[in-house]
Chains A and B, each alone.
Chain A
């Protein structure tokens, strides 16, 4: 199947008074139609900037570059502002983390939904209105016609996120980017919203990039997973691969943090990864995770190869965890992909 979005060597640099912040440092991924890619990482790993870089909505001072940034044959790097505006909200939609503040308090949700369609299609307002009501019903909002007249402050967080989802769907996008869409919501609502997103993605055969720090979310919806650490993609592959045989020490550390029903005993300590993400200001050499890694050796300060596991998933580590089951120091194989 054809890739909808191809990204190669994407970087985002932010000039600061104290030096350049290398927030995203050369990441690669593809998304196909009907596929869900989950981008996982902790705060500051560059995952939100990655999504904004695709949308062309980075803060003014941030600098984006990439070898390839291709959306269905359109090079997003050379696309004009006007072309990007035509893509946004129509072919590529985005759902944000904060449903409480992402809707404009001065307009009714009906106005805001209708606007999303009228910005891209020359259709009568009544048609846009009908579509808005239809989509509100689709995202599980009852009495949709009445909700259209309400203002955001009259809706709960869960309802607002449903409205945001409906708004993202107004233009029937090919790609939907959801940046931690459930983080701000109650746990019970989180599950509903996730299921809704997944169902809609299947039904409309969209590609979806779901950004999250919650591996529980990933396990439920992902076809492919990309683990980000300090602006780099440290491991990427099919969800089944990454979950069953994680390679990178960071990925294994993350998975250790999650309790597994039936396996984790009551009262047992859950795993945690000590330390904090290193500063990404100035030149970053070697593996950014080495200061927190139990398995770090002197070689970790040198250039890190990208390795491909037998099953075909990628990880970025000096240690070759496929050749040796033990976690002892091995001579790194120079197998750059």
Chain B
């Protein structure tokens, strides 16, 4: 288990390094950063002054080293637009994004797992068909479209939920559904497939032969084994949701980190974009790492022996 953990950790660090290089390179991939900061009306002298001021004339490796060194300490520089420390900006917005992510994954798990189990217990039944329909819908509908449909329905026609903002819990209802529904199909199908597989297993028959009731057979003996891959998928999805809520936050103007990223791209606010990319990737990496550990912890065959 220790060796396994260290291996996974090493891999996570390597990916982190690669991502940091990429997000640093973004500064240069989008054109001359000095020109971008100086603005459209600047002349050559102004641009040169900016270049010297921000230290953009130094070798790339030095710049990367400095950026990374500061980033590790939580200093991502100053936002071009807000003229505030990027770390402060991001931290303020992250709480909203995290809340949305937790609500989203909870919604996804609470709908997907019971539906997946029900579908597996009676394959090809009406419940199974409905579950399949819902998951195909969820997979096929783009989040932005589904979000707009909900806004039209609940905010404009029925007037029960606010279309935008992040002031009360009501603002989170629709984003949670949109984000959760995006993750739901994969979790549902994996639960169903896992349960179908496990329900035919010899140890499930053993549990019945012992005299265990159907409920106990389903949840103690079958689901406990079928859920292992689902948990790791959900952890990865969670990482993805924290980073991938850009679209959802933009539609509902939810002032989270994803919305900030979308605004910052429009404003050419590169330090903020860089920091957000790094933070979002870190979420993804951390949750993938956690998912590996969870997987090992849930499966005794990986944990012991």
**Minimum CB distance partner of A92 in chain B:** B209
> Chain A's nearest CB lies how many Å from the CB of B157?
45
Instruction: Type the 1/0 row for A99-122, where 1 means its CB is closer than 8 Å to any CB of B.
Output: 001111111100000011001100
Interchain CB contact under 8 A, A102 and B206: yes
Interchain CB contact under 8 A, A153 and B211: no
Interchain CB contact under 8 A, A104 and B305: no
Interchain CB contact under 8 A, B225 and A89: no
Interchain CB contact under 8 A, A102 and B203: yes
Interchain CB contact under 8 A, B225 and A106: yes
Interchain CB contact under 8 A, A104 and B209: no
Q: Is A96 an interface residue (CB 8 A)?
A: yes
Instruction: List chain A residues, Cβ under 8 A from B203.
Output: 101-105
CB-CB contacts below 8 Å: A150-173 with B: 150-151, 153-154, 164, 167, 171
Q: Is A98 an interface residue (CB 8 A)?
A: yes
Contacts A106-B300, A151-B300 given; does A115 touch B210 at CB 8 Å: yes
- Interface centre among A85, A90, A120, by most B CB within 10 Å? A85
Report the separation of the CA atoms of residues A88 and B206 in the bound assembly, to the nearest whole angstrom.
10
CB-CB contacts below 8 Å: A230-251 with B: none
Report the separation of the CA atoms of residues A273 and B281 in the bound assembly, to the nearest whole angstrom.
67
Q: Is A87 an interface residue (CB 8 A)?
A: yes
**Minimum CB distance partner of B227 in chain A:** A106
**Minimum CB distance partner of A85 in chain B:** B211
Q: Is B212 an interface residue (CB 8 A)?
A: yes
Report the separation of the CA atoms of residues A240 and B53 in the bound assembly, to the nearest whole angstrom.
104
Interchain CB contact under 8 A, B212 and A115: yes
Interchain CB contact under 8 A, B212 and A119: yes
Report the separation of the CA atoms of residues A96 and B207 in the bound assembly, to the nearest whole angstrom.
12
Report the separation of the CA atoms of residues A92 and B266 in the bound assembly, to the nearest whole angstrom.
72
Instruction: List chain A residues, Cβ under 8 A from B209.
Output: 55, 57, 88-89, 93-94, 96
> Chain A's nearest CB lies how many Å from the CB of B172?
35
**Minimum CB distance partner of B301 in chain A:** A153
Report the separation of the CA atoms of residues A259 and B207 in the bound assembly, to the nearest whole angstrom.
39
Interchain CB contact under 8 A, A151 and B202: no
Instruction: List chain A residues, Cβ under 8 A from B208.
Output: 57, 88
**Minimum CB distance partner of A115 in chain B:** B210
Instruction: List chain B residues, Cβ under 8 A from A153.
Output: 300-301, 305
Q: Is A86 an interface residue (CB 8 A)?
A: yes
Q: Is B205 an interface residue (CB 8 A)?
A: yes
**Minimum CB distance partner of B222 in chain A:** A104
> Chain B's nearest CB lies how many Å from the CB of A91?
9
Interchain CB contact under 8 A, A104 and B225: yes
**Minimum CB distance partner of B208 in chain A:** A57
**Minimum CB distance partner of A52 in chain B:** B205
Interchain CB contact under 8 A, A102 and B202: yes
Interchain CB contact under 8 A, B211 and A105: no
Interchain CB contact under 8 A, B213 and A85: yes
Q: Is B267 an interface residue (CB 8 A)?
A: no
> Chain B's nearest CB lies how many Å from the CB of A86?
7
**Minimum CB distance partner of A113 in chain B:** B210
> Chain B's nearest CB lies how many Å from the CB of A42?
21
B300 in complex: contacting residue of A105, A116, A164, CB < 8 Å: A105
Contacts A57-B205, A98-B202, A102-B202 given; does A88 touch B210 at CB 8 Å: yes
Q: List 27 A-B contacts (CB under 8 A).
A: A57-B205, A57-B208, A85-B212, A86-B211, A88-B208, A88-B210, A89-B210, A90-B211, A101-B202, A101-B203, A102-B203, A103-B203, A104-B207, A104-B225, A105-B225, A105-B300, A106-B224, A107-B224, A108-B300, A119-B210, A119-B211, A119-B212, A120-B211, A151-B300, A151-B301, A153-B301, A171-B211
Interface residues in chain B, defined as those with a beta carbon under 8 Å from any beta carbon in chain A: 201-203, 205-213, 221, 224-225, 298-301, 304-305
Beyond the given A57-B205, A85-B211, please list 16 additional residue pairs across the A-B interface where CB-CB is below 8 A: A57-B209, A88-B209, A88-B211, A94-B209, A101-B201, A101-B202, A102-B206, A104-B207, A104-B224, A104-B225, A106-B225, A106-B299, A106-B300, A119-B211, A153-B300, A164-B206
